[in-house]
Amino acid sequence: MDFFAQQARVRGSSRRLVALFVLAVVAIVAAIDAAAWLAFGHHPAAGEPAASNLPLLLASSGAVIAGIGLGSLFRIMSLSGGGKAVAESVGAVAVPADTRDPQLRRLRNVIEEVAIASGVPVPDIYLMADEAGINAFAAGYSASDAAVCVTQGCLDNLTRDELQGVIAHEFSHVLNGDMRLNIRLMGLLFGILVLAVVGRKVLQFGGGRGSRRGSGGQVLLIGAALMVVGYIGYFFARLIQAAVARSREALADASAVQFTRQTDGLAGALKKIAINAEGSALQVANRQEVAHMLFGEAGSFNALFATHPPLLERIRMLQPGFKEADLARMAAGMQREAAPPAQASGPAAASGVPGMPGLPLPPILTGVLAGGVAAAAPAFRRAATVQQAMPASLGEAVQQPESALTVMLALALSLKAELQPAQRRIVADAFGDDVQRAVQAQASALAALAPIARLPLVALAFPALKQLPDGRQQTLLHALDELVKVDGRVDINEYCLARLLRIHLSEASSPRRAPVDGVKKLPAARDSVILVCAIVAAAGCSDEASARRAWLLAMQQAFPGEAIDWTPPPAAWQAPFERALDDLDGLSPMAKELVIQALLRAVHADGQVSVEEAELLRVICASLHCPLPLGEDGGGQVAT
């Protein structure tokens, strides 16, 4: 599944949402104006001159627009904390990083694997402990402040493969830009509903005092109009919510298949929703507010308001031969057996529908399982391998804020003995002698860490690092800059560590300020593309001739037919590189896809991907706010 194309679709959905919302507001204003004119307007008798009702109508229109706008703004501001705020608004509780509960430990492991494979920091993890239905959602303004929330029903009913399919589905929303749109939609729905709430209050309390002044009837008329029009507006807002959500769910299902390279897990989760008594329903009072971002329907709503395609339709997209009668057999089998049914392994799905090899795949999945997902299984396996091979002491250290800080500092320490005294002084000056000694202790544990696992370790540490006070985060970033410059030069590994942390921590601290998709076309950032490709090509090659060849391949991909002269990257490359990345972040999603394709041509020029190339690619994707190509390197062999 092409995440860049999905991001472009999300942009289109956002524009349509705004247009439909504006139309709804215009209709509401017109209706309230009509009620105000009937209640308080001047209605001249025949032959009398018509008095102007313009001030009345302007006041009425302004009050309605202000009410909707302030209501929407209030709700969006209340969710300014990003994914965490949304999760807590539905009563979810954070899953501790050091949990020993087997179900929660399995959940964390699955989410960490998907995060490493997709090149994003591990999100905050939340549990709706009182919800027996099978459901989940991802929320936030960007990957850096994302939260993934699951119900207890997911943990109680799903196998690991099924849970993995659900989590992969939710990560597709993280990667394709759905989450920011989801939060905006929550705010707009709330703003329209405010009118109905105000109208109900006016009817309850507004007419008493006015009746003594002879205007009680007019006040009640306005109250009734507000309530009726508010609920009519909410009706259409719910239609908008359902339409926006339904159009994305099939894409998210296909994206989950791309991640896991098998359909059985996701299909199994959908089947269990169909046969379980609780289904995917939520009991929380404000479930309708988050209905459009859930994995399954929040309740038994009218088909008109359904935020997801029918379950059987979603299952048949994954397994075309599936019949409704199969659900009854599956339910009977689950009742007979205490253990859950065995799950097929990922590769079995690569050549047709699992368990039904004679049936063709549906069009939306043909490319995904036939070719486009060829790198997904290695990426997922590599993520699991990195996670499992992590020294136990490091895995525990990155779960707590202060020890995670020491691990990040230890990652920046040089292996050269002559540089270490100066680096120890930098750490001691910034954090004290106790932290300096803890950093030295972590450095010995890091000696056993494979180089390719350095940045995935940053992703695992990120939830803990976000909990540090802002001042301590800034001190950490400053200390990292000083550590990597102690020898007068900055190598690629050191730069990537500092840059990645700076991006994610800054966006996590101010979620609503996370950049939105740009609009620039590729030619507008031509010089930046040339420089970034040159730096990546030079990083992966041992001589200038090889670097030039890799760079030319990238240029042919990005600017076919153009004659561009090769210029080696400057010795002091970091500052120009940062400016170029900021420039490229302003590109449209489809232009960013061309940049990533060009970089992959350079990376694969010699048939091997160095650690430096893999880390640069991860940092570039984070800087451009786009997904990492599957397998970190797009499918090549990573040198460890």
Best CA proximity match to 157, nearest among 107, 199, 224: 107
**Confidence at residue 580, expressed as pLDDT on a 0 to 100 scale:** 96
Does 282 map to a domain?
yes
Residues 258, 132 within the same domain: yes
Convert the pLDDT of each residue in 531-546 to its tens digit: 999 999 999 898 999 9
Q: What are residue 136's DSSP bridge partners?
A: 150
Measured CA to CA, the distance from residue 139 to residue 145 in angstroms comes to 8
State what percent of residues in the chain have pLDDT above 70. Answer: 83
* Strand ranges in 400-555 using DSSP code E only, listed in sequence order: none
- Identity at 443, one-letter amino acid code: A
Question: Per residue in 497-508, pLDDT tens?
Answer: 999 999 999 888
Asked whether residue 516 is domain-assigned, the answer is no
| Domain edge (last residue) among 479, 509, 539 | 509
Total domains present in the chain: 3
The DSSP result for 407-435, as a single string, is: HHHHHT--S-GGGHHHHHHHHHHHH-HHH
Same domain, 485 and 531: no
Same-domain status, 132 and 195: yes
Phi, psi angles (nearest 5°) of residue 157: -115, -20
| Residue 54, phi-psi category: left (phi > 0), alpha (psi -120 to 50), beta (remainder) | alpha
pLDDT at residue number 369: 41
Q: Are the CB atoms for 174 and 140 separated by under 8 Å? A: yes
Across 79-146, the runs of DSSP E, i.e. the strands, are 93-94, 124-128, 136-139
pLDDT tens string 188-242: 778 877 777 777 777 766 555 544 455 566 677 777 777 777 777 777 777 777 7
The answer on 150 and 108 residing in a single domain is yes
Q: What is the model's pLDDT at position 578?
A: 93
Model pTM score: 0.80
Residues 90 and 118 in one domain: yes
Rounded CA gap, 109 and 261, in Å? 18
Question: 509, 540, 563: which is the final residue of a domain?
Answer: 509
Q: Which residues have CB under 8 Å from 147's CB, separation 6+?
A: 82, 83, 84, 86, 87, 123, 124, 125, 126, 138, 139, 140
In a domain, 108, yes or no: yes
| Tokens coding 472 | 């301590």
β-pair type (124-128, 93-94): antiparallel
Residue 491 CA to residue 615 CA, distance in Å, equals 12
Asked if residue 181 and residue 129 are part of one domain, the reply reads: yes
Question: Same domain for 583 and 616?
Answer: yes
**Structural domain includes residue 367:** no
Is position 466 within any domain? yes
Claim to verify: residue 182 and residue 242 sit in the same structural domain: yes
Give me the pLDDT at residue 212, please.
Answer: 47
**Which amino acid, residue 452?**
I
Amino acid 536: pLDDT = 95
Tell me, yes or no, whether 18 and 109 share the same domain: yes
Asked if 590 and 4 touch (Cβ cutoff 8 Å), the reply is: yes
Domain that holds residue 482: 390-509
Token pair 């590189």 in the structure block, residue: 577
Which residues are CB-contacts of 220 (< 8 A; sequence separation ≥ 6)?
Answer: 202, 203, 206, 207
Among positive and negative, which fits the CA dihedral 182, 183, 186, 191?
A: negative
Assess if residue 362 is contained within a domain: no
Residue at 517 is within a domain: no
Q: What pLDDT is attached to residue 416?
A: 85
Mean pLDDT in consecutive groups of 10 residues from the start of the chain, 640 residues:
52 64 80 77 58 76 85 84 90 92 94 87 95 94 91 95 92 79 80 77 62 59 75 75 75 79 89 90 88 86 77 88 83 65 41 37 41 49 72 87 94 87 94 94 85 86 93 94 84 88 89 76 94 94 93 95 90 92 91 93 90 91 82 43
pLDDT digit string, tens, across residues 465-523: 999 999 999 999 999 999 988 877 778 888 899 999 999 998 888 887 777 767 899 99
Identify whether 170 is a catalytic site residue. Answer: yes
Domain's final residue, options 448, 474, 509: 509
| Cα dihedral: 475, 478, 484, 490 (round 10) | 160
Q: Are residues 384 and 394 in the same domain?
A: no
Same domain? For 398 and 384 the reply is: no
**Quick one: which of 179, 126, 195, 193 has its CA closest to 292?**
179
Check: CB of residue 270 under 8 Å from CB of residue 162: no
CATH number reported for the structural domain that contains residue 404 in this entry: 1.10.3680
For the four alpha carbons of 208, 209, 212 and 213, in that order, the dihedral sign comes to negative
Report pLDDT for 60.
Answer: 82
- Supply the pLDDT for residue 444: 84
Find the catalytic residue in 113, 131, 170, 613.
170
Q: Which residues are paired to 124 by β-bridges?
A: 147
Q: Is residue 307 part of a domain?
A: yes
Cβ neighbours for 542, distance < 8 A, ≥ 6 positions apart: none
Q: Cβ(146)–Cβ(139) under 8 Å?
A: yes
Are 298 and 406 within one domain? no
Q: In whole angstroms, how far apart are CA 423 and each of 437, 480, 552?
A: 12, 10, 39
Distances (CA, A) of 85 to 72, 190, 248, 292, 434: 16, 16, 23, 16, 35
Tokens standing for residue 285 = 């009072």
